[in-house]
Structure 1
Amino acid sequence: MRGRTVAAAGLAVAALTGATVIGAPASAGTARGDGVPAVTGAAAGGGGLERFREQKITWHRCRTGPDDAAGKELDEAKAQCAEVTVPLDYARPDGRTVTVVLSRLKAADPGRRRGTLLYNPGGPGVPAMSLVLQVKQAAPAVAARYDLVGMDPRFVGRSTPLDCRWPTGAVGSAGPDRRTFERSAAVARDLASRCAAHRDVLPHISTRNTARDMDVVRAALGEQRISYLGSSYGTYLGAVYLQLFPRHVDRVVLDSVLDPARYGPDLTRTQGPALNALLKDWAAWTAARHDRHGLGSTTAEVLATVNRINRAAGRAPLRVGRHRVDSRLLPMALFHITAGDSPQAYAGFAADVRVLRDAARGRAVTPTPTLEAVLSGLSAPDDGTTAVQTAIMCADRAASRDPRAYYRDIRAHRADEPLFGPLTRNLTPCSFWPVSPAEPPTEVRNDVPLLMVGATGDPGAVHRGQLAAHRALTGSRMVTLRGAFRHTVYGGLFSPRDACVDRFVNRYLAEGVLPAGDVSCPGGPSSGGRSTR
């Protein structure tokens, strides 16, 4: 269970009758309503995009070798895998190409097959191939009606790779003062410089191009329309696809929706109030169980314990087993509080904090298995994943290139966001990125019918952003899990499962029934599935 919740925290760091289109406008920055940039001259010749849309998909086994555990699991589930060729730059379809890799689980009930459902779990840059197995397990009624397809987006997972050879996976927190901030800025500058060798590719690693890749996949599959399930960043990808290709969507579910008008390198700046509320909720839960966790008998005492740990790490690195946890690492190590609000997740986080408290007191400690896994991941060289995630955000929206603006923002919020503010408000490699985005950000505004689900206390896709997306997507219906502090809410895929949310999503995907209006579900890890309108 805790392994799954830590994975959900990773998704937080770094958002279905058949959909009838009613005059959805083309996106800003496109020349036509089909999401493809206008091309002229040689780029328009040689068959253009049709050769990609009409390519034949050759399905095969998924396992690539004896050490490929994920491929073996897909094969055992009778999944199929394939490669699809797409243009690197859609404005030059006769130029360089890249490959995206797919997995497919055929509908369990072929006689009642609705079509294809493509799933994106978020990130950005999280591979989706293996995760279709979780969707099938979580929603067998949906798996009966749809071929489930997981696509590793361009440059992600098994698709054409990109590796900037980063020595670390994150810039981390700005720490307690100007000196530590400048140190984090130097890390960001160095990471950006390591991607400069790929400057011919970087502008094209955008969400807009991934959405275009999705449409090539749709056409190559022979589908007139495709259904979609996206969570976290996957909601932004879904919103961009809706905007570019409104006539090609069927039933769409967006779980924990990001504000499409703010998505980009600096989106984490919006998380402060939600993270504070989550930390306070955990502290209250822990204080009520002081006899078990020993971190304080009141909410204020538990929060004071966390603040003392933070101050101690700012003075000198904490010795946690074989690790040294300084002010840069500590907020990242504690960020997995965003993994969910179940009793198991809260108790596990309390155990981690207890270890850190003892380390702050100078005691010899052994990290919990979860804390060991988190710290090991933070100290390991990047395997390419974080660099690609960063490249996607840098290609989607330009970031401020003034480090002083970030430092002023961090200083302004030190009092109200002492732990996570220097992390979520810190600059990123996008402030020093070697190229600019090739296209402007997608302006999302349409009336395509779809279903949104999310929690009021979501620390990753904050509720204010969910509401902004709901206003922009005027054909949406929204199911809100009240009083819950979790990122993603459907199917128990990455956080505690909720029967009420699941009922609305499954009914929509399987039967095409959207709620008549917006709906609320009562929150809490043991919610009984009642709803209120």
Structure 2
Amino acid sequence: MVGTLVAVIPAAGQSATGKPVAGLVWAACPEDVVVPPTVQLPVQCAKVPVPLDYRDPDGTQIELMVSRIASTKPEKRRGVLMFNPGGPGGTGLDQPAFLVSKGLPTGVTDAYDLIGMDTRGVGHSAPVSCGFTADDGYWANIPPYASDDAAVTRQAEIARDVAERCAANDTDGRLRHLSTANMARDLDRIRAALGEEKASFYGASYGSALGAAYTSMFPDTTDRVVLDSIIGDTHLDRAGLRRFALGMEQTFPDFAKWAAARHESYGLGRTPQQVRRTYLTLAERLDRTPTPDGLTGALLRQITFGSLYNEIQYPNLARIWQTYLDPGEASRAKAATAPNPQDNALTVFLAVTCNDVEWPEDVDTYRRAVAQDRKRFPLFGAASANITPCAFWKHEPAEPPVAVNDKGRRNVLILQNRHDPVTPLAGGRLLREKFEERSRLVTVNESGHGVYVLGGNACALNLTTTYLVDGKMPAGDRTCQRG
């Protein structure tokens, strides 16, 4: 890799922003910010200028767009609650309205102005692009399943091409400045622009890493922090990516049990063990002979992995399997060569992930990992251990990953489902250990990705709402049973 950056960056706890803007101008949000019709609270948007490069706070500025659902109860208002829905690369402007539509308790909407945002590089916040097209067949966060060493070699060439394409499209030099540390600095800049001495934060999935970095860098200006579905650190590295395979192994049995109980309808197996064999047999057959419409074993594994995020997706997953068990019945339209609607999200994912931490550059390192994880985690290990464009990324990390700061008051509530395909329980336990007495872990005996509001568990909902509204943190780690 080339392009190493060496400079002094504002330290944790210091102002990272030079002279923050005082006050925001709120107006109607762009038309693509979705507000469900059930949400009766007004949603407004504003722009916050931040430095592109925090080493040069008075240099080039970019604008971040934030959204707000303001509290209508001034006598109950505590402050602001900022949200991040994950990614990195996911738009968050609609997150407050989305969660309100899903039942975010009124105690929370009374206590806080809800602040969503597109983080730097995303959507309406100085967007970036690698120029992905709809027929690229590339998944930025999880490469395809590698059935053998040759598949890793082929994926390495694809990964190299992607990294080179990203570099070629980066004509304004923004990609190197996309990192979790800079996004955390942006959060503190937004807090200051909102005129708040402190800000609370809720982050899910990658948002847990961003929140961990934010409260570690700015312990004095973060208030109540809720981290949901945990990556395990302040960044996603190879270990975190490889834990996706552990998560699938732990979560797949929930789908297998569900499908076995419905064998008469879907024909996938009368027992969970038979359902697992159906999956492996079908995927291996598609490895050898993809369908005429382009379904491969790698794509089937990707679809199955993604469908384990929520039990509501189980019926459609079962139907997909059922369709492809009879190759003659399969029919899908091929994608045309057109801009990929996920281009922006994939670009941000790559930039942040590759910029946050050093990634091995030797292809043999990935071949060995794939062979190991194919045996350890047969369902998905040879995908999550496969090589990514980070091996060929143009820029070295500008700074070390943010270290978890375990000093300070107890204000980090960690939520984690016991079975989660992408962020397994191991990640929650890791972050709990790193934060030590600053945190408490709530382990929820549920399946899927996401706990608060969307997960539907009464115990976890109550514990989290009580913390956000009343500040009451569990005295010790807690376990919530199903229901």
Q: TM-score, normalised by structure 2?
A: 0.90
2:52 to 77, 85, 88: 88
Is the contact between residue 13 and residue 218 of structure 2 (CA under 8 Å) also seen in structure 1? yes
Is the contact between residue 61 and residue 75 of structure 1 (CA under 8 Å) also seen in structure 2? no
Q: Distance in 2 between matches of 1:376 and 1:82?
A: 36
Is the contact between residue 117 and residue 228 of structure 1 (CA under 8 Å) also seen in structure 2? yes
Residues 1:353 and 2:321 aligned together: yes
Residues 1:505 and 2:464 aligned together: yes
**Shift of residue 366, structure 1, vs aligned partner:** 4.5
2:307 aligned residue? 337
**Shift of residue 285, structure 1, vs aligned partner:** 2.3
Identity of aligned residues (%): 33
1:154 to 120, 123, 129: 120
Q: Secondary structure at the match of 1:242?
A: helix
Q: Secondary structure at the match of 1:100?
A: strand
Relative distance call for 1:74 and 1:226 in structure 2 (3 A) is: farther
Aligned residues: 463
Is the contact between residue 265 and residue 428 of structure 1 (CA under 8 Å) also seen in structure 2? no
Q: Distance in 2 between matches of 1:101 and 1:32?
A: 25
In structure 1, list runs of 5 or more residues that go unmatched.
Answer: 1-28, 38-48, 528-533
Is the contact between residue 63 and residue 71 of structure 1 (CA under 8 Å) also seen in structure 2? no
2:401 to 436, 441, 447: 441
**Shift of residue 98, structure 1, vs aligned partner:** 1.1
**Shift of residue 315, structure 1, vs aligned partner:** 0.8
Q: Distance in 2 between matches of 1:486 and 1:428?
A: 25
Q: Distance in 2 between matches of 1:183 and 1:439?
A: 31
2:181 to 208, 218, 228: 208
Alignment of structure 1 residues 44-443 onto 2, 5 Å: 49-51=17-19, 53-64=20-31, 68=32, 70=34, 77-137=41-101, 138-139=103-104, 140-167=106-133, 168=136, 169-170=138-139, 172-197=143-168, 198=170, 200-260=173-233, 263-264=236-237, 267-319=240-292, 323-340=293-310, 342=311, 344-359=312-327, 363-366=328-331, 381=340, 382-443=342-403
For 2:124, give the aligned amino acid. Answer: R
Q: Distance in 1 between matches of 2:185 and 2:336?
A: 32
Is the contact between residue 99 and residue 159 of structure 1 (CA under 8 Å) also seen in structure 2? yes
Q: Distance in 1 between matches of 2:220 and 2:79?
A: 15
Q: Which moved more, 1:170-179 or 1:81-90?
A: 170-179
**Shift of residue 279, structure 1, vs aligned partner:** 1.5
1:7 aligned residue? none
Tell me how large the CA RMSD over aligned residues is: 2.5
Is the contact between residue 74 and residue 133 of structure 1 (CA under 8 Å) also seen in structure 2? no
Q: Secondary structure at the match of 2:58?
A: coil
Residues 1:480 and 2:439 aligned together: no
**Shift of residue 328, structure 1, vs aligned partner:** 3.8
Q: Distance in 2 between matches of 1:231 and 1:464?
A: 16
**Shift of residue 485, structure 1, vs aligned partner:** 2.1
For 1:54, give the aligned amino acid. Answer: V
Q: Secondary structure at the match of 1:256?
A: strand
For 2:414, give the aligned amino acid. Answer: M
2:4 aligned residue? none
Is the contact between residue 63 and residue 70 of structure 1 (CA under 8 Å) also seen in structure 2? no
Relative distance call for 1:31 and 1:151 in structure 2 (3 A) is: closer
1:41 aligned residue? none
Note the alpha carbon deviations across 1:4-50, whole angstroms, 9 max, x for none: xxxxxxxxxxxxxxxxxxxxxxxxx966442557xxxxxxxxxxx44
Relative distance call for 1:63 and 1:337 in structure 2 (3 A) is: closer
Q: Distance in 2 between matches of 1:30 and 1:476?
A: 27
Q: Distance in 2 between matches of 1:262 and 1:150?
A: 21
In structure 2, list runs of 5 or more residues that go unmatched.
Answer: 1-7
**Shift of residue 80, structure 1, vs aligned partner:** 1.0
**Shift of residue 376, structure 1, vs aligned partner:** 6.2
Note the alpha carbon deviations across 1:423-456, whole angstroms, 9 max, x for none: 1111111110011111111111314422111111
Q: Secondary structure at the match of 2:285?
A: helix
Relative distance call for 1:84 and 1:265 in structure 2 (3 A) is: farther
**Shift of residue 468, structure 1, vs aligned partner:** 1.1
2:429 aligned residue? 467
2:13 aligned residue? 34
**Shift of residue 181, structure 1, vs aligned partner:** 2.1
Note the alpha carbon deviations across 1:167-188, whole angstroms, 9 max, x for none: 3352631432233222211111
Q: Secondary structure at the match of 2:441?
A: strand
For 2:479, give the aligned amino acid. Answer: S
Q: Distance in 2 between matches of 1:517 and 1:246?
A: 21
Is the contact between residue 305 and residue 421 of structure 2 (CA under 8 Å) also seen in structure 1? no
For 1:345, give the aligned amino acid. Answer: Q
Is the contact between residue 235 and residue 401 of structure 2 (CA under 8 Å) also seen in structure 1? no
